[in-house]
Chain A
């Protein structure tokens, strides 16, 4: 985590009540440039409210939000929002605007030159696998759900904001589309440098996308940390229970080959006749390795370790994490 730079987002002691109901209570966190924070928790835990307080769609009752060191309350809300990308689950494309016009909304508000806007729109559409020639002139209702969400993403990124807020961006999509868009999302060059806050209740999604996760329950912070910290160093019972159902799947996705085989992995020193699949490295997760090992088009003899060896090492690694936690 780069610490020499000031935080891009600083939230301190943020609280919000709706009537007598405390939706967000005393939440604080800081976000460095380029970091992705996932707000995770069960439905009604206050994560969406917390997100909307960042761009002032909801005003806090107490506490402050600073973006780039400036209190958001000191800025006109619309000007603040134009500098922050915003993606929501229902997409919310303007139904009477074409795809291109939807994407151009913020750049136009910011007074960008029409030619520049057109170039940018075409570039974004291309990168999101929506050929501009075909899609730019279409109206939102002509698009599939996945296509709409891609346009929503393009719209949020159109003015190249340094910060992007995403409220369950993949929540309305079917599992297959969701997985493919999530992959695209992760691989999108455009997003690498962004500071992002993403709301979800999907644990797998959180683990896949987060640098850090802020787990909320009933408006209160339960734990803020990396996925690995939440999984192996749960701060309380709630955190532990929250991941219990998918514990094994998450562990498989979290631990890497480096974690299970050590700094100098065994397969590197194996015999010369043993080829390593190109995509295997120290950061490959156990889950990915397992998928490769069990897929039918890879010859078993060509692999540096067997499933049994991998699982044994995985078990030992889990034991190590467990012990470290108990100590």
Chain B
């Protein structure tokens, strides 16, 4: 019931967007279907004349059909970039099999005697095709188009992953935010469209052969018109933004950014988180959301726009430990403190770049960093009975690198043994492991500690005002009180949300901060 009212509220608030996405969805389906009919029907006809080729062609189309849709989009992005092209092409490929197969089956289903009689009466090959074979194959052919349409309406939701719009934008935003109402807001209209098209084409299919011919021609005319829906002018501006679904949906993401900086004239598309950087690099979009220490910032030569009004909460990395560890091994305190304030945003970006793009091992990256800072000590031989420090990390490169740094420092500066338990999945798994004593420490981010683990009331969050010191102070106090866990000193970098632009474009436009961006868009 709650979800239902949330859904209705969502639809009311986002009515404009819902309409736009629905039209885009229909447009995508229609354009790809039109292309598939234009290619698939002639191919099917050709195969009916050369049945020897049918297994090969149908096999190929069948293989295309079995490629998971996400993977197919992934293959197409390097070739076609992001935007409508890969989406339409993928949908087109999915429609081919049912259309080719049903065209062929339809023609082959025409009684040979009817064709022979028609030829015997003196119809030319073209007349046999147009007056006899096609009209008689049309019901089966239409069934193929119907299948393809229903498949397409479903698969077209994935278009949202490649910035091609459609109802998938709500669905993926909802998934990213774990917001059922938002998922339904996109999923219900998509399912409705599928049912609607299925019923409409089903009704067409049941028409008599002679009327079906006329309706078929009508459909062929209607498809480009429906496809043109996709081309309806969308909001346009000086710059185009590409955002991940989660960023668009969450309160401390785009909504607060728009409010604070007045980024009202920034039209945006939604696409898969994994693709936003690619999209910026290839200039499909100009502004993206990202994480301020991502290795791709360096790899793709992007600029982080300064969040000069502190909209994004601070996500400073801080080691969180069990106090017992420091009590039992007091020598660790100074060793762990060696990294305090040592790693700036750009340094961390660099280290991530080595991991993600140069594919160096986290261990090698950690060692290289420590050597450059003069912190490297060869590991001391730890006895078999030496106490073990268990280090945890979440499942991404930055955390692996930090864990390896601490491991190297402990091995080089103490007699303790180290066990790294990397890849503990997400935040809650690491946190629970620390509380249970399965690990002794892991690097956490202040913003995550605040919003994900402590989850204070909005009033508390507002009172902290996004000030890094205040947030750290709050999480440290609350962790001590509630969980008896200790936040040490920050490492220096802030891995928070960030708006990114291509370095060169940002330079040309003189945009350094988000305020600059807002000013540029308003001028």
Contacts and interface: CB of A to CB of B under 8 A. Distances in A.
A88 B116 contact: yes
Interface in A61-115: 78-83, 86, 88-96, 105-106, 109
Interface string B96-117: 0000000000000001011111
Contact of A86 (B117, B124, B132, B135): B117
B122 A96 contact: no
Contact of A57 (B114, B120, B210): B120
A167 to B, nearest CB: 9
A86 B136 contact: no
Contacts of A86: 117, 120-121
A183 to B, nearest CB: 24
Nearest to B132: A94
Contacts of B131: 94
B124 A88 contact: no
Contact of A95 (B114, B124, B127): B114
B123 A92 contact: no
B122 A109 contact: yes
A191 to B, nearest CB: 18
Contact of B116 (A57, A82, A106, A156): A57
A170 B132 CA distance: 24
Contacts of A80: 122
Contact of A92 (B111, B122, B127, B135): B111
Contact of B122 (A78, A88, A89): A78
Given A57-B120, A81-B120, A86-B120, A92 B113 contact: yes
Interface string B204-222: 0000111000000000000
Chain A, interface size category, equals 20 to 34
A87 to B, nearest CB: 9
Contacts of B122: 78-83, 106, 109
B118 interface: yes
A88 B132 CA distance: 17
A105 B120 CA distance: 11
Nearest to A86: B120
Interface residues of B, number: 21
A92 B114 CA distance: 4
Main secondary structure on B side of the interface with A? helix
B371 interface: no
A36 interface: no
B119 interface: yes
B129 to A, nearest CB: 13
A55 B120 contact: yes
The residue among B111, B114, B136 with the most chain A CB atoms within 10 A of its own CB is B114
A96 B111 contact: no
Main secondary structure on A side of the interface with B? mixed
A16 interface: no
A155 interface: yes
A88 B121 contact: no
Contacts of B118: 92, 94, 105
B117 A92 contact: yes
A196 B136 CA distance: 31
Given A95-B136, A96-B135, A96-B210, A105 B111 contact: no
B210 A92 contact: no
B119 A91 contact: no
B119 A88 contact: no
B281 to A, nearest CB: 56
A78 B112 CA distance: 18
A82 B210 CA distance: 24
A209 to B, nearest CB: 20
B136 A105 contact: no
B210 A106 contact: no
A155 B135 CA distance: 20
A25 B209 CA distance: 43
Nearest to A105: B121
Interface in B202-253: 208-210
A90 B135 CA distance: 20
A78 B121 CA distance: 8
Contacts of B113: 88-92
Interface in B121-154: 121-124, 127, 131-132, 135-136
A95 B111 CA distance: 10
13 contacts: A78-B127, A80-B122, A81-B122, A86-B120, A88-B116, A90-B117, A92-B111, A92-B118, A96-B135, A96-B209, A106-B122, A156-B121, A165-B120
Interface of A: 55, 57, 78-83, 86, 88-96, 105-106, 109, 152, 155-156, 165
Given A78-B127, A90-B111, A109-B121, 13 more contacts: A55-B120, A57-B120, A88-B120, A89-B113, A94-B131, A95-B111, A95-B209, A96-B209, A96-B210, A105-B118, A109-B123, A155-B121, A156-B121
